[in-house]
Structure 1
Amino acid sequence: MTPPLGIFRNKRVLVTGDTGFKGSWLAYWLHYLGANVHGFSHPPERDCDHFNVLGLARHIHHTDGEIRDYSQVREFMETTRPEFIFHLAAQPLVRKSFREPKLTMDTNIGGTVNVLEAVRFTPSVKVLVTITSDKCYRNKEWCWGYRESDELGGKDPYSASKAAAEIVYSAYQDSFFAGRPQFGAASVRAGNVIGGGDWSTDRIVPDCIRALQSGKPIVLRNPQATRPWQHVLEPLSGYLLLASRLYEDPAQFRGSYNFGPDSREIHTVEEVARALISVWGSGGIKIARNESDPPEAGLLHLNCDKAHHALGWYPRWNFAKTVERTAQWYKSVKEGTDAVALTRRQIIEYMESSP
């Protein structure tokens, strides 16, 4: 990994959503880099969640909190005085957004407003990275990747909430942050991430692993849907690199960035399931379309030229290695391998890989 990541050593870093899948991987990686990590989030939902199996509460300073409560967010920032903030706290599930649209909007839009507003009054903050989603783009099902300047929007509550969060971020950037000395902010958008320790419902890899562990066939609703699959460490490496650049030169690197795999690494849901079965060593697939299911995007991927040229960021693991390392994590932990050692080993392996 590039030398700039040494910048996090002994820095106070806040990760909102640290109990989530991406947040727990990021918080542990920052801990490994020597940062003084503070987390603010709901408690983890399941005993088997990555945060819990890592015992992450022993490695970082975690506080249970509500991102929708501005007073809590501001008080937490005033107390911890972070220098870096990675804002990941969100309602991250598309299908849940149909069941609970208000919760989704309040969390993804209102929570982002609360973080941005609190940052206004926290002078210790030097860098803010706001994480949204590739679904912030108005999906036109076209065959080329979306650029950072493309139209935002969403037909479903989740996508709309992420597009709105981007608009809110942009307004705060232009209205309050652009003239703030030695402060750098950016928003980042990544596609579907997979990796060990994710047990969320209605996500392809956790659903597959649950089926494989129980000896049941994997049920696919939309097997030919394509996604820009990448290991969770891929976009996280981009967030960390971007944050280090913002710390060094806020004016040059502020803005929005996409982080996704090479266009040749885009695969269907069925290909992911079959690759997981191959690594696992057993399993089958059952196609079960349901007309009552909420609509899903069929084709969506990102153009990452800006990250390539401005940051020198490139993905390191191809699709085969991404699925292999993901399946190996679940299988190894199930067989008794220590999750902390395995997570650390995969981070080190990734850092030592070449793009």
Structure 2
Amino acid sequence: MPFNDAYSGRKVLITGHTGFKGSWLATWLDSLGAQVCGYSDAVPTTPSLFEKAGLAGRIDHRLGDIRDLARFSQVVKTFRPDFVFHLAAQAIVSTSYNNPLETLDVNVMGTATVLEVLRDVDWPCTAVIITSDKVYDNVEWPWGYRETDALGGKDVYSASKGGAELAFKSYFHSFFTKSDVSVRLATARAGNVIGGGDWAADRIVADCVRAWCEDRTVEIRSPRSTRPWQHVLEPLSGYLWLGARLAQDANYHGEAYNFGPRAEQNATVLELLAALAEVWGHENPEHAYKVTGNIPFHEASLLKLNVDKALLALSWEPNLSYRECMTMTGEWYRDVLKGGNDALAMTQEHIASYERFALERGRVWVA
């Protein structure tokens, strides 16, 4: 069984389970035999993978603001999770320019609320706090950022994610290093995640799908910006493997880990769109996308992570090639939105394919 069978029959709480990554994670854990409880303030987009896959009927679906200490504490104490994956956040960079205080409040104080509740847990529990690749002070150098590099950033979104990491560090050293503590914690950082079922605002794949479904040409702001694109299942496999290892070995307690694609998988926005347009079925790229000069907010031209720590400490490594990532992403949207395929079945099929690739390629978490 994948992940040393760590999740079968176990109680797993996901904050932010209605979002793009949270919905994929809930579906995967459900397939692994976990008893999943989700806690989110709302379904963030319409449409959404959460609703299309019917996840409200498959897991214990609960609503609440991640900053509501009393409400979240009540959920944790009644559900008594074995594992917690904290994904609840304000996750859109453009939104942080319109609502900077809300972004800081949700991402920093929301994370602090989770940690405060975990401080009172008196049963064995393993928590993975997910932040972002944006935690790093990005000076746009050509090599990947390591977990020991400076945190920060020039924009509010980066500050909110860096602040979440600082909240984690202070809580860990203040409250979670005592010998009688029942909770083990670690943080995970990843970014540039794509895959089927993302309809968030100002994300390139979601923008493309919205435009192409309406037979419109999508406008792109920064065609030469380079990103290390990765399918959503790549970091999720890292989060799940980190949780499984952390539950078994206290040496991972308090650590931070980057999860990202292979270094050679950097591609420009233009290359990404060309690959997706091909899978979607566009014969003429000029009908698929056009370049616009409208750049409403600052965007880094280069940001990538060094994943050597995950490779050396966890024996985790990315599983998909760039072509496989693009194909799986494009096929999900094409087959669900154009072909009428069932969203849950497609998501489960991609998870099964990803596990099969991992087994064929000797990834340790699926052995």
**1:126 & 1:253 partners in 2: Cα distance?**
12
**2:3 & 2:59 partners in 1: Cα distance?**
23
* TM-score of the pair, normalised by structure 2: 0.94
Deviation at 1:124, TM superposition (A): 2.7
1:344 aligns with 2:343: no
**1:170 & 1:233 partners in 2: Cα distance?**
27
Instruction: Give the corresponding residue for 2:327.
Output: 324
Instruction: Give the corresponding residue for 1:73.
Output: 72
Deviation at 1:2, TM superposition (A): 4.3
Indicate if the aligned counterparts of 2:118 and 2:183 stay in contact, CA closer than 8 A: no
Deviation at 1:258, TM superposition (A): 0.1
Instruction: Give the corresponding residue for 1:248.
Output: 248
Deviation at 1:183, TM superposition (A): 3.2
Deviation at 1:46, TM superposition (A): 3.7
SS of residue in 1 equivalent to 2:298: coil
Instruction: Give the corresponding residue for 1:202.
Output: 202
1:289 aligns with 2:293: yes
**1:106 & 1:242 partners in 2: Cα distance?**
27
Aligned-partner residue type, residue 291 of structure 2 = I
Instruction: Give the corresponding residue for 2:317.
Output: 314
Residue by residue, what CA displacement relative to the aligned partner does 1:230-253 show, whole Å, maximum 9, x if unpaired? 000000000000000011012345
Instruction: Give the corresponding residue for 1:117.
Output: 116
Instruction: Give the corresponding residue for 2:81.
Output: 82
Aligned-partner residue type, residue 193 of structure 2 = V
SS of residue in 2 equivalent to 1:122: coil
Deviation at 1:263, TM superposition (A): 0.9
Indicate if the aligned counterparts of 2:123 and 2:183 stay in contact, CA closer than 8 A: no
Instruction: Give the corresponding residue for 1:62.
Output: 61
Indicate if the aligned counterparts of 1:185 and 1:250 stay in contact, CA closer than 8 A: no
* Aligned residue pairs, count: 353
**1:106 & 1:125 partners in 2: Cα distance?**
29
Deviation at 1:125, TM superposition (A): 4.8
**1:349 & 1:146 partners in 2: Cα distance?**
30
Instruction: Give the corresponding residue for 2:91.
Output: 92
Aligned-partner residue type, residue 243 of structure 2 = A
Deviation at 1:44, TM superposition (A): 0.9
Instruction: Give the corresponding residue for 2:238.
Output: 238
SS of residue in 2 equivalent to 1:150: coil
1:299 aligns with 2:302: yes
**2:83 & 2:44 partners in 1: Cα distance?**
26
Aligned-partner residue type, residue 318 of structure 1 = S
Aligned-partner residue type, residue 116 of structure 2 = E
SS of residue in 1 equivalent to 2:6: helix
Indicate if the aligned counterparts of 2:121 and 2:183 stay in contact, CA closer than 8 A: no
Q: Which shifted more, 44-53 or 57-66?
A: 44-53
Indicate if the aligned counterparts of 1:47 and 1:53 stay in contact, CA closer than 8 A: no
Aligned-partner residue type, residue 327 of structure 2 = E
Indicate if the aligned counterparts of 2:207 and 2:218 stay in contact, CA closer than 8 A: yes
Deviation at 1:254, TM superposition (A): 3.9
Residue by residue, what CA displacement relative to the aligned partner does 1:251-300 show, whole Å, maximum 9, x if unpaired? 34540000000110011111111111111111422111125x11101110
Indicate if the aligned counterparts of 1:97 and 1:157 stay in contact, CA closer than 8 A: yes
Structure 1: give runs of 5+ residues left out of the alignment.
Answer: none
Q: Which shifted more, 9-18 or 117-126?
A: 117-126
Instruction: Give the corresponding residue for 1:126.
Output: 125
Residue by residue, what CA displacement relative to the aligned partner does 1:287-326 show, whole Å, maximum 9, x if unpaired? 11125x1110111000000001111111111111111111
Indicate if the aligned counterparts of 1:242 and 1:253 stay in contact, CA closer than 8 A: no
**1:302 & 1:124 partners in 2: Cα distance?**
34
SS of residue in 2 equivalent to 1:128: strand
Q: Which shifted more, 92-101 or 171-180?
A: 171-180
The structure-2 alpha-carbon separation of the partners of 1:324 and 1:310, relative to structure 1 and needing over 3 Å to count, comes to: same
Which aligned pairs between 1:34-53 and structure 2 lie closer than 5 A?
34-53=33-52
Residue by residue, what CA displacement relative to the aligned partner does 1:141-193 show, whole Å, maximum 9, x if unpaired? 10000000000001111110000100110111111112244532100000210
Q: Which shifted more, 271-280 or 119-128?
A: 119-128
Indicate if the aligned counterparts of 2:135 and 2:161 stay in contact, CA closer than 8 A: yes
SS of residue in 2 equivalent to 1:62: strand
**2:228 & 2:110 partners in 1: Cα distance?**
26
The structure-2 alpha-carbon separation of the partners of 1:53 and 1:125, relative to structure 1 and needing over 3 Å to count, comes to: farther
Indicate if the aligned counterparts of 2:3 and 2:241 stay in contact, CA closer than 8 A: no
Deviation at 1:126, TM superposition (A): 1.6
SS of residue in 2 equivalent to 1:8: coil
Structure 2: give runs of 5+ residues left out of the alignment.
Answer: none
**1:148 & 1:88 partners in 2: Cα distance?**
19
Indicate if the aligned counterparts of 1:183 and 1:247 stay in contact, CA closer than 8 A: no
**1:117 & 1:79 partners in 2: Cα distance?**
16
Aligned-partner residue type, residue 303 of structure 2 = L
Aligned-partner residue type, residue 351 of structure 1 = E
**2:193 & 2:124 partners in 1: Cα distance?**
28
Aligned-partner residue type, residue 273 of structure 1 = L
Instruction: Give the corresponding residue for 2:106.
Output: 107
* TM-score of the pair, normalised by structure 1: 0.97
